[in-house]
Amino acid sequence: MVLFSLLYWSMLMIFYVLTIGSSIDDLLPVKEFLHTQFTIKDIGQAHYFLGVELARSDVGLYLNQRKYVLNLLSDSSLTDCKPVATPLSRDSKFDVNSSLLHDVDKFYHLVGRLLYLGFTTPDISHATQQLSQFVQVPTEAHWSLAFHLLRFFPCLLED
């Protein structure tokens, strides 16, 4: 019984809530309500949340996943790769007849990471959607297309 209480308490300790609104005044009632229901601690404005960098300006809120992209390139050993100008080449073929990929989990994991990046990088959406259709039975051709897409990211980091 004590172990269960300890586990339950740990889960509460790692629970974070990010509230976003058009102004601080809009958020005060939400914050006050949460404070009446739970013991909360306001840690101020967020600058980084779930792998997304948050930057504010007079115009609005900018979302950036630069660090996530750099980690993805590093994990794929592509930090010094020759960049490509487009997410998919014009003659890209999603060939289902090429040899099957041996490590399906690696492809599945990579496509998942690419889908998460689509949240802030809409120009990869089409390519990622195409790749995601083959996560059950990926081929070497799909793996090559995924690496082509990864080589597009250095172009995004230049901005």
Indicate the residue type of 129. Q
Look up the pTM and report it.
0.74
Taking only the tens place, the pLDDT of each residue in 80-116 is 888 888 888 877 777 767 788 888 899 999 999 999 9
Domain boundaries, the chain: 1-44, 66-157
In which residue ranges of the chain is pLDDT below 50? 1-12
Coil/strand/helix, residue 100: strand
